[in-house]
C-alpha cells in the first residue's frame, strides 16, 4: 500500500433534532398546557491525534465522515437524545487546512490532542419553551439547527525527536533497525524507503526518543527532484538531524560533497531546517575499502571544526557511542529550547 501524507476529506456534523409541538391530553385536565420537548444536539466530528497511526491512508480511502443527527423532541416534555460525537483518529503531526480557502485551522502536533472539525447543530426548542402569561397555548416550535459541512485538507508532518537524513543507500534504514525495534525494508538499491519509518530508542529505563528514517534526499530535492518536497517536510518537526555519510567507494559518490549538497537542500527548503542541530556519522566502516574515504572525512571535518562518529550500522560498530552522543545532543537541545521559551515569556 502506498504511503499517503496529504489528502482532502469532507466532514459533516449532525443536524439538531426538531423541537416538538404538543399539548397535554389528559383525563380531568381540560386545560392541559404545551408539553412539546426539545430536540437533541447533533453529533460533532472530532479529530483525535493518535500516535498509533502513521499515515493518512485510512482517511484517503474513506473521504466522507458524517455524524448522526439529534433525536427529535416528543410530547410529555420528552427531550430528544443528543447524538454521539464521531471521533476520527488521525496521526499525531497532522496540520488541518480549509480546503477551499487554504487557511490553516489547527495543528495536531501532540498525541491525544482533540479538535472539533465540525460542530453539531443545536436541537430545536419545543413549544413548551414558549409558554408565558401572554401565550398559554404556544404553537411555535423550532427546527433543529443544521450541522456544518467542511472540506478539509490534511497534511501529515512526522513527529520525531531525531530525523535521519542522507542520500539514498547511505544506510539510514539499517541504522534505524540497529538502534530501535523498527524493521524497515533494506536493500542495495536507491529509494528502498518510500515512506518515513519511525522507531523508538530506549537509552535507559526512563529515557526514550523517537527516530524517523526519512526517505533519501537528492540534489534538487527542494524543487521536487527525486522524492523531493514530499518528504522534506517530514523533518521540519524533528529536534535534531542525524546526517548519514556513505563511505562505500563503490557507489562512486563523494561523502564530503554529499554532505555539502544535502545541507544546501535542507537550507533551501527551510531556513530554520538549515539551522537545525546536526550529528554527523560516517557509515559502513566495516567495508575493507572504506578506509580512504574515512580518512578524508576525518580530515575534512577536523578542518571545519566538526565532529563525526564512525559506525557500521550493519555490524553494530560504534552504535553504543552513537546512542550516548544522541542522548547528550538531545539533552543540550532540550536546554536550548527551554532557554528560548523562557526568553520569549513576558
pTM of the complete model: 0.69
Predicted pLDDT of residue 25: 75
Query: Does residue 242 register a pLDDT over 60?
Result: yes
* Residues 329-335: contacts with CB under 8 Å, at least 24 apart: 329/240, 329/277, 329/279, 330/161, 330/162, 330/209, 330/239, 330/240, 332/277, 333/239, 333/240, 333/277, 334/239
Task: For cell 517536510, name the residue.
Answer: 233
Predicted pLDDT of residue 343: 66
Q: Which residues of 270-290 are buried (b: 16+ CB within 10 A; e: fewer)?
A: eeebeebebbbbbbbbebeeb
Predicted pLDDT of residue 119: 97
Query: Does residue 297 register a pLDDT over 90?
Result: yes
Superfamily of domain 6-156 in the CATH hierarchy: GTP1/OBG domain (2.70.210.12)
Q: What is the pLDDT of residues 311-323, one digit of tens each?
A: 999 899 999 999 9
- Find the mean pLDDT for residues 123-139: 92
CATH code at 162-344? 3.40.50.300
Residue ranges of domains in the chain: 6-156, 162-344
Distance, CA of 213 to CA of 111 (rounded, Å): 20
Between the alpha carbon of residue 78 and those of residues 16, 19, 122, the distances in Å are 15, 10, 16
Predicted pLDDT of residue 185: 47
- Find the mean pLDDT for residues 139-167: 90
Q: Evaluate whether 167 touches 160 at the Cβ level (below 8 Å).
A: no
Q: What is the pLDDT of residues 198-235, one digit of tens each?
A: 777 888 777 878 888 776 554 443 344 434 445 566 67
Predicted pLDDT of residue 85: 97
Amino acid at each position: 500500500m502506498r504511503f499517503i501524507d496529504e489528502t482532502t476529506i469532507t466532514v459533516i456534523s449532525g443536524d439538531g433534532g426538531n423541537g416538538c409541538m404538543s399539548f397535554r391530553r389528559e383525563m380531568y385536565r381540560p386545560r392541559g398546557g404545551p408539553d412539546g420537548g426539545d430536540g437533541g444536539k447533533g453529533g460533532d466530528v472530532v479529530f483525535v491525534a493518535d500516535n498509533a497511526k502513521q499515515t493518512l491512508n485510512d482517511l484517503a480511502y474513506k473521504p466522507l465522515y458524517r455524524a448522526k443527527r439529534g433525536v427529535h423532541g416528543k410530547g410529555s416534555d420528552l427531550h430528544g437524545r443528543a447524538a454521539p460525537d464521531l471521533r476520527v483518529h488521525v496521526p499525531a503531526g497532522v496540520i488541518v487546512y480549509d480546503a477551499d480557502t487554504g487557511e490553516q485551522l489547527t495543528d495536531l502536533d501532540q498525541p491525544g490532542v482533540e479538535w472539533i472539525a465540525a460542530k453539531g447543530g443545536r436541537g430545536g426548542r419545543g413549544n413548551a419553551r414558549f409558554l408565558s402569561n401572554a401565550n398559554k397555548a404556544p404553537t411555535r416550535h423550532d427546527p433543529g439547527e443544521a450541522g456544518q459541512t467542511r472540506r478539509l485538507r490534511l497534511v501529515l508532518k512526522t513527529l520525531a525527536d531525531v530525523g535521519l537524513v542522507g542520500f539514498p543507500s547511505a544506510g539510514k534504514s539499517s541504522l534505524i533497525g540497529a538502534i530501535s525495534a523498527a524493521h524497515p525494508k533494506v536493500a542495495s538499491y536507491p529509494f528502498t524507503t518510500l515512506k518515513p519509518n519511525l522507531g523508538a530508542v530506549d537509552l535507559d529505563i526512563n529515557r526514550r526518543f523517537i527516530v524517523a528514517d526519512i526517505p533519501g534526499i537528492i540534489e534538487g530535492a527542494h524543487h521536487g527532484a527525486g522524492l523531493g518536497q514530499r518528504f522534506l517536510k517530514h523533518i521540519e518537526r524533528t529536534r535534531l538531524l542525524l546526517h548519514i555519510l556513505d563511505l562505500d567507494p563503490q557507489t562512486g559518490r563523494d561523502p564530503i560533497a554529499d554532505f555539502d549538497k544535502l545541507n544546501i537542500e535542507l537550507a533551501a527548503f527551510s531556513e530554520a531546517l538549515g539551522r537545525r542541530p546536526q550529528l554527523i556519522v560516517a557509515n559502513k566502516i566495516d567495508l575493507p575499502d572504506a578506509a580512504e574515504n574515512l580518512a578524508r572525512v576525518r580530515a575534512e571535518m577536523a578542518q571545519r571544526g566538526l565532529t563525526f562518529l564512525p559506525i557500521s550500522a550493519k555490524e553494530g560498530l560504534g552504535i553504543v557511542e552513537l546512542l550516548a552522543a544522541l542522548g547528550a545532543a538531545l539533552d543540550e537541545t532540550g536546554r536550548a529550547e527551554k532557554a528560548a521559551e523562557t526568553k520569549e515569556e513576558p
